Amino acid sequence: MTTPAAYFRLVRVGWVLVREGVVSTLPVQEMPPSARFLSKVAGLFARRRSAKEDRSARLAHAIERLGPSYVKMGQFLATRPDVVGVAIADDLSALQDRMATFPMAEAVATVEASLGRTVSDLYVKFGEPIAAASIAQVHPAIVRDAAGERRVAVKVIRPGVRQRFAHDIQAMYAASHLQERFLPQTRRLKPVEVTRTLEQTTRVEMDLRLEAAAISELAENTKDDPGFRVPKVDWERTGRDVVTMEWIDGIKMSDLHGLRAAGHDLDKLADTLIQSFLRHTLRDGFFHADMHQGNLFVDPQGHIVAVDMGIVGRLGKKERRFLAEILYGFISRDYERVASVHFEAGYVPSHHDVASFAQAIRAIGEPIHGQPAETISMAKLLTLLFEVTELFDMETRTELVMLQKTMVVVEGVARTLNPRFNMWKAAEPVVGGWIRDNLGPKRILADLKDGAHAALRLAEAVPEIAAKTEKFSRDLTAMAEHGLRFDAATAEAIGRSEARHGRWGRVALWVIAAALVYIAAVVS
């Protein structure tokens, strides 16, 4: 239930965005006249800033003012260009997750409370923080075990971040409910569901045991992969609020001069990066969904090391197959097959015409085949795809959007390493191999095997299904003879809920009105 306090927080968020000049710089060319008018009015209340400061910088200032929870929200929405638009998603992708560090004493207290041991017992040395983000900060440390002393990185949760996020997420729910109510054309994007996904993703990220588990799973999946690895987790020194892992002595991928000086082959690193990401996606169905330059290092052996596994994505076998068929259809110019896959997967509502959708897909695919492969921008391709799917009422598929956005980020990193990077050529060994193994004769054998397992599970469940069916039949017969009745307690509970909902709705409207009057008075 959305409370008046949530609406008040939402008003505050809106006011900060207005004051920092974000609202007045939003793209409104295709918006209704009322939206363009509001954008101009918002410009009157914006702070005067340098003409060189673009929307991205203004957005960064606004989110910094709103606090750590909104930095995390912004980073999440950067993975959802279908919701906020490609331009805003690009602005949010540039957010620097650098926050002020919290005191050493608080970090020590958090570690000891989480692990149940003193810091001096856990670590030979526990250093001052070297980096701080919206969720946690990192400390260098040294541990001693049977193999001797070794350096580690200790990630410690930010005190109070869970309570702060629990309050701030309510404003997001308020915004999404208002969006669904007053902007019906955006309901296909499922704003409330997107907010729910943000809440779940961030709650998972705030349990550092789950991040450690993600690192461990990716390490197991990639143990035999060439040129890619993740840090080792020290499970003895890992809990809900702290994770200890191997210290990485490497060069950040953003440091091109440092990479060249160390003798690394940047073109090869670009190929390895995209191939590793595609292996994780197609082979394993589990991928690092935040692979920007700040989370990628190159160690002295030339291996790419990925850190910060707070955000991960998963694809089921069916989704991986559809993805491969869509990619293969674009490459082979079989647009009818691409369209059919969208309908088979349920991505596009069945009342639309397959041939018309294939025509729209052709409008995206043909320009690609008319360009040199190294000039094709995945970001531009996704922009066109979002525009087309909107025309055909394609509902948001969270797992695919996260994959697509991550692919854009990974491609961008690869192009900084090699400006003439040919994504299609680099991807062919992985994508082509997966297609040959999974869309050919091997696919039939795998489907038969999966079908046999499903039939066995169904046979085992038949007695339970029969019993439930018999009970449902008796209940249905009784309902037909005597009608559907609520007991007194249920009817009373329904009445109380409806009354409370109406009362809180009226209170919320008064809170919003009072807040707007207050803001107008302050400005005047």
* Residues carrying an active site annotation: 290
Look at residue 109 and give its three-state secondary structure.
helix
Residue where the block lists tokens 């994508």: 431
Quick check: 2 and 508 in contact, CB under 8 A? Answer: yes
Can you say whether residue 333 is alpha, beta or left, with left for phi > 0 and alpha for psi between -120 and 50 degrees?
A: left
Which of 441, 434, 427, 429 lies closest to 283, judged by CA?
Answer: 434
Amino acid identity of 406? T
C-alpha atoms less than 13 angstroms from C-alpha of 468 in its C-beta half-sphere: 5
Q: Please, what is the Cα angle at 440 between 434 and 446, to 5 degrees?
A: 85
List, in sequence order, every residue forming a beta bridge with 306; answer none if it has no partner: 296
- Name the residue among 87, 247, 242 with its Cα closest to residue 153: 247
Give the tokens for residue 62: 């606004």
Query: Collapsing DSSP states into helix, strand and coil, what is residue 28?
Result: coil
Q: Are 255 and 404 in contact (CB under 8 A)?
A: no
In whole angstroms, give the CA distance from residue 197 to residue 402.
Answer: 11
Q: Which residues, 6+ apart, have CB-to-CB distance to 257 below 8 Å?
A: none
Nearest-angstrom CA–CA distance, 466 and 472: 10
CA distance 398 to 80: 8
d(CA 297, CA 259): 10
Closest CA to 400 of 29, 80, 77, 7: 80
Q: Report helix, strand or coil for 155.
A: strand
Mapped onto helix, strand or coil, the DSSP state of residue 88 is helix
Rounded Cα gap, residues 201 and 278, in angstroms? 22
Gap between the Cα atoms of 470 and 293, Å rounded: 59
Task: Count CB neighbours of 224 within 10 A.
Answer: 5
